[in-house]
Amino acid sequence: MTNSVAEIAENEALFVIGSNTTENHPIIALRMKEAVAKGAKLIVADPRKIPLVKFATLWLRHRPGTDAVLLNAIMNAILAEGLEDKNFIAGRTEGYEEFVKSLETFTPEYGEEITGVPAEDIRKAARIYGSAKNAGIYYAMGITQHSMGTNNVHAVGNLAMLTGNVGKRAAGVNPLRGQNNVQGACDMGGLPNVYPGYQKVDDPAVKAKFEKAWGKSLPDKIGLPATMMTGAMLSGELKGMYIFGENPALSDPNTTHSVKAFANLEFLVVQDIFMTETAKLADVVLPGVSFAEKDGTFTSSERRVQRVMKAVNSPGEAQLDLDIIDQIYKRIEGKGDLDKKPVPAEIFAEVAALWPALAGVSYARLEKESVQWPCPAEDHPGTEFLFKDSFNREGGKALFTPVPFVASKELPDKEYPFVLTTGRELFHYHTGTMTRRSKGLNAIAPEAFIEINPADAESMGLVDGGKLTVSSRRGSISLKARVSNIVPPNVVFIPFHYSEAAANLLTNDAMDPVCKIMEAKVCAVKLEMC
């Protein structure tokens, strides 16, 4: 997030797109409701009538996969009504003229044709967002898990820049991360193209810095994104894999394809706290530990670094992920004291010495307070919001990026006439590795379901609770129907937590060409009564 969670309550306008915030990020949703209670105007853009809609000033029910067109049409309307921030654009951005030209065809009327949102509602959204003194955009995987996900995020950034809603309090571009330490994992270099602190693997100066610090020769070749590993496994390029804290045999789109790829490996190691669907495929399973058994730090969506302290002892032979990795490393190298365990505080200090954004953060400080990076010195208070004075580009200016209309890779047709979109529900979490082992949560949300519009149900003779078989070009599952206006006609929704009716057997593994994320939010399906 460019801004902080506490600032949400100060927003004059909020634009939520691709985020079922009340179910996926309920604490952040409370801040949004607080802002509305104080008089803020809330725009919600979502194909489903998610719970947050009830608090919205305006609900934009766009067709799945048309996010960028909707955003472009709103920006076209902002320009038509003179609501752009001319001073911000002139002083802090580049590429504006080309960007404005790219919006010419995205009139509200064209937006209505593609997205299904009435042109007048597009204009209303432009007025609400464009007229606010400070407006924040909040998004999640509802706009990223598409074959044009990068374009969608560029469009979000364009909208914030067009109205000068970046680099100031209670505004910004705010991605809501999917788990409690996704931000921290990325910060520490858990990506194929960067070292800790987003320092590029293929930058010779960066490589030299880390080689000196670590006393090792390091590769300068960018690794494979996780989504490209499936193809590499099937081709034989990738022969072994070490997976921890991930369950791709259930979470990957087109999971049949992924499971087939795992079978092609020579060796698979899975490190987890439970015997997941992926662990069942492994040659070796290593018992890791849960968050309550760890010592270290978590970094939240708002870049806030917080100490995590061990609360309970680990069962059986379970060990810290850090300790397991250290043991494997020492055995591979054939040196090092196997009885000496790594110290989390020392590792954090090492990262802080190599990444200026953490230079002012230490375990001693974190014992007293949490800190938001960048925090370049011990006497620095941390940074509530980013880009106050400049952006992280040469010259310090932000760049507008023209975003064309790119359709989803798989659209409905005669054989597969419905659009399937997937997501989470309040009572379960991702592939259910932890939550589906909770008796209390399972009592509330015991089984998979498919949401279907009443008009579609009536045309099939389907009643609420009736069973459907849902099929795509990749697989089929059977589950109970919830007949509801939550979804529009010709669109169905399935949560992806349930292994016995795995939504990702159906979803499309088409990839965004830039960031390589898969299109889990749009695919074509057909429905048959069981």
Mean pLDDT of 428-440: 89
**Residue 220: what pLDDT?**
86
pLDDT for the residue 377: 98
Measure the CA–CA gap between 262 and 121, rounded to whole angstroms: 47
180 confidence band (pLDDT: 50, 70, 90): confident
Q: Whole-angstrom Cα distance, residue 373 to residue 111?
A: 38
Among the listed residues 242, 285, 272, 309, the one whose alpha carbon sits nearest the alpha carbon of residue 434: 272
User: Residue 481 pLDDT more than 90?
Assistant: yes
- Count CA within 13 A, CB hemisphere, residue 45: 34
Q: Is the pLDDT score of 38 beyond 90? A: yes
Q: pLDDT by residue (tens digit) across 260-301?
A: 999 999 999 999 999 999 999 999 999 999 999 999 999 999
pLDDT score of 61 more than 90: yes
Instruction: Average the pLDDT over 154-182 and give the result.
Output: 96
Residue indicated by tokens 């049949």: 256
> What pLDDT, on the 0 to 100 scale, is given for residue 380?
98
**pLDDT, average across residues 338-358:** 95
Both tokens of 286, joined, read 């290593």
Q: With bands split at pLDDT 50, 70 and 90, how would you rate the model's confidence at 210? A: very high
State the architecture of 182-372 in CATH terms: 3-Layer(aba) Sandwich (3.40)
The DSSP 8-state label assigned to residue 463 in this structure reads -
- pLDDT at 178 exceeding the cut of 90: no
Does residue 392 carry a pLDDT above 90?
A: yes
pLDDT the model gives residue 266: 98
Confidence (pLDDT) at 394: 93
Q: Domain 418-529 - what CATH class? A: mainly beta
Mean pLDDT of the chain: 96
Q: How far apart are CA 291 and CA 180, in angstroms?
A: 10
Res 146: pLDDT: 95
Q: The tokens 């697989």 sit on which residue?
A: 475
Radius of gyration in angstroms for the set of CA atoms belonging to the chain, rounded to a whole number: 24
Indicate the domain borders of the chain. 5-176, 182-372, 418-529
Q: What is the pLDDT of residue 434?
A: 87
Fold observed for domain 5-176: Dimethylsulfoxide Reductase; domain 2 (3.40.228)
pTM (global) more than 0.75: yes
What percent of the chain lies above the pLDDT cut of 90?
A: 96
Tens digit of each residue's pLDDT (9 = 90 or more) over 90-132 = 999 999 999 999 999 999 999 999 999 999 999 999 999 999 9
CA distance linking residue 356 with residue 493, whole number of Å: 44
Rounded to an integer, the average pLDDT of 371-386 is 98
User: Tokens at residue 105, please?
Assistant: 């065809």
The amino acid sitting at 148 is M
pLDDT band at residue 179 using 50, 70 and 90 as cut-offs: confident
Is pLDDT of 430 > 90? Answer: no
pLDDT above 70 as % of the chain: 100
Angle at 81 between CA 128 and CA 43, to 5 degrees: 20
Task: Say if residue 444's pLDDT is above 90.
Answer: yes
The answer to whether residue 477 scores a pLDDT higher than 90 is: yes
State yes or no: pLDDT of 482 exceeds 90.
Answer: yes
pLDDT grade for 223, boundaries at 50, 70 and 90:
very high
| Rounded mean pLDDT, 482-504 | 96
Q: Mean per-residue pLDDT for 434-441?
A: 91
What would the mean pLDDT of 42-66 be, rounded to a whole number?
A: 98
